[in-house]
A and B are shown apart, each in its own frame.
Chain A
């Protein structure tokens, strides 16, 4: 088993009111000096079998067609090296 992580973020030009609400709460919690917060999604996929180039291609297709809406979101796909090393 190996883990592949897909991170999905709103594109930079898309307004993120949730991130803004988090950012505005920071000074009240004593956190100064953070000028912007953007909130995204992280998917952890447990993959049966080897994570080879073919598997990664399939996962990229999945991310592009389903996990992210590329009209408004960007995504990255990476193998979770820590989870790999734990085996």
Chain B
């Protein structure tokens, strides 16, 4: 038996197919979820993928956060359902207050697309178990609103509790405070990050490495061994 991992498609989602493909390559079964459905189809985990849901109108993720599917997702995430938010998915998770802080426009005001070096700061979340603490990885980054901000108290708390999961290395691409690229909630089941692991799962594309694949093998192992 394998794990069933849902991928939500909102109007304006871009990376739902790539995310489904990454899940399949890792050996799990992707399940398409629709923003208008309250039903999560009894999946074992959910990925909120990249894109520009609802055109990023108002604020990135602000409208998606109130879609029917999110009502069920927020409730289940609080009860322990593993959820990964990539890029726009990360923005939706902060807007839904499943993760602290907020995402704002890149400090340089430009869209950015590059291969980004990251350091894995926490290899104990549901989505990072197949990495080593301190491991350096390269995965693509592409966004307009990637600047992670939170107040000093929240930042200190995240650091003290080991909840900064990824940090930008060598170059901070968007002005994120303390070079934060990804964070987790207290329980470690909800993770959000700006870079795109689903674009780095095969040698032929992305960074030419498969540094993103462990996200999907991590969750599979976690679910199958549970």
Contact call A69/B59, Cβ cutoff below 8 A:
yes
User: Given the complex, which residues of A lie within 8 Å of B94, measured CB to CB?
Assistant: 71
A66–B95 CA distance with the chains assembled, in angstroms:
9
User: CB-nearest residue of chain A relative to B107?
Assistant: A17
Question: Which residues of the partner chain B approach A69 to less than 8 Å between Cβ atoms?
Answer: 59, 62, 95, 102
B105 close to chain A: CB less than 8 A: yes
- Report B148-195 residues with CB < 8 Å from chain A CB: 149-151, 175
B109 at the interface (CB under 8 A from A): yes
0/1 string, A19-44, CB within 8 A of B gives 1 = 00100000000000000000000000
Q: Which chain B residues numbered 58 to 86 have a C-beta less than 8 Å away from chain A? A: 58-59, 62, 66
Q: Which residues in window 85-132 of B have CB below 8 A to A? A: 94-95, 100-102, 104-109
Docked Cα-Cα span, A71 to B94, in Å, equals 10
Given contacts A69-B95, A71-B150, A72-B149, contact A17 B62 (CB under 8 A): no
Q: Within the assembled complex, what's the spacing in Å between the Cα atoms of A66 and B101?
A: 16
Question: Smallest distance from the beta carbon of A40 to chain B beta carbons, Å?
Answer: 13
Min CB distance A87 to B, Å, is: 29
B105-A17 in contact (CB<8A): yes
CA distance A72 to B60 in the complex (A): 13
Of the A-B pairs whose beta carbons lie under 8 Å apart in the complex, a sample of 23, sorted by A's number, is: A14-B104, A14-B149, A15-B107, A15-B147, A17-B105, A17-B106, A17-B108, A17-B109, A17-B175, A18-B105, A66-B62, A66-B66, A69-B59, A69-B62, A69-B95, A71-B94, A71-B101, A71-B102, A71-B149, A71-B150, A72-B102, A72-B104, A72-B149
* A66 surroundings in chain B (CB, below 8 A): 58, 62, 66
In the bound complex, what is the Cα–Cα distance between A71 and B98 (angstroms)? Answer: 13
Given contacts A69-B95, A71-B101, A72-B149, contact A15 B58 (CB under 8 A): no
On whether the beta carbons of A18 and B102 are closer than 8 Å, the reply is no
How far is A13 from B152 in the complex, measured between Cα atoms in Å? 11
